[in-house]
Structure 1
Amino acid sequence: MSNVEKVTVLAGKGAQIPVRAGDEVTVVNVSGTQVVDFWCLPKSSPQQYLSLEHCREVLNKIYFTPGDVLVSDRYEPVFDYVADTTGGLHDSLIAPCNPEMYRRFGRPDGHPSCAGNFWAGVKEAGLAIPFVPSPWNLFMRAAVKPDGSIEYSRPPYLPDGRVTLRMLVDATIIVSACPDDCYPTNGGDGSPRDVVIEITR
Structure 2
Amino acid sequence: MKGMQSDTITRRIEVPGGSGRAARVRAGELVRVVDVAGGQVGDVFAFALETPGEHPGNEHHSAAHTRAATSRLFPAVGDPFVTDRRRPILTLVADTSPGLHDMLIAACDPQRYAQLGAPGHRSCAANLREALAAIGHPYTGPTPQPINVFMRIPVGADGTLSWLPAPTAAGDAITFRAELDAVVVVSSCPQDLVGINRGEPSPLAVEVLAGQGRQA
> Into which bin does the TM-score normalised by the smaller protein fall?
over 0.9
Give the unaligned 5+ runs of structure 2.
1-6, 211-216
C-alpha distance in 2 between matches for 1:71 and 1:124: 25
Which residue among 128, 134, 143 is the counterpart of 1:132?
A: 143
Give the unaligned 5+ runs of structure 1.
none
Q: 1:193 to 1:3 in 2, by over 3 A?
A: closer
Shift of 1:132: 0.4
Q: Which digits, 9 at most, give the CA deviation of each residue in 1:61-106, with x for residues without a partner?
A: 1111111111111111112210001121201000111111111111
Find the residue that maps to 1:174 and give its secondary structure: strand
C-alpha distance in 2 between matches for 1:52 and 1:6: 26
- 1:196 corresponds in structure 2 to 205
CA contact under 8 A between 2:20 and 2:186: conserved in structure 1? yes
More strand by share: 1
C-alpha distance in 2 between matches for 1:180 and 1:3: 29
- 2:213 corresponds in structure 1 to none
- 2:78 corresponds in structure 1 to 67
**Aligned 1:85-164 pairs, distance under 5 A:** 85-107=96-118, 109-125=119-135, 126-164=137-175
CA contact under 8 A between 2:11 and 2:208: conserved in structure 1? yes
- 2:47 corresponds in structure 1 to 41
Q: Aligned Cα RMSD in Å?
A: 1.3
C-alpha distance in 1 between matches for 2:188 and 2:90: 21
Shift of 1:123: 1.9
TM-score of the aligned structures, taking structure 2 as reference length: 0.88
Shift of 1:3: 4.8
Which residue among 46, 51, 57 is the counterpart of 2:68?
A: 57
| 1:28 equivalent in alignment to 2:34 | yes
Find the residue that maps to 1:26 and give its secondary structure: strand
C-alpha distance in 1 between matches for 2:8 and 2:125: 33
Shift of 1:156: 1.5
CA contact under 8 A between 2:122 and 2:190: conserved in structure 1? yes
The amino acid that maps onto 1:147 is: D
TM-score of the aligned structures, taking structure 1 as reference length: 0.94
Shift of 1:128: 2.5
Q: 1:103 to 1:3 in 2, by over 3 A?
A: closer
Q: Which digits, 9 at most, give the CA deviation of each residue in 1:23-82, with x for residues without a partner?
A: 110000011201100000011223100111011011001111111111111111112210
The amino acid that maps onto 1:94 is: I
The amino acid that maps onto 1:193 is: S
Shift of 1:4: 2.1
Aligned sequence identity (%): 34
C-alpha distance in 1 between matches for 2:9 and 2:186: 21
C-alpha distance in 2 between matches for 1:32 and 1:176: 15
The amino acid that maps onto 1:110 is: G
C-alpha distance in 1 between matches for 2:100 and 2:15: 22
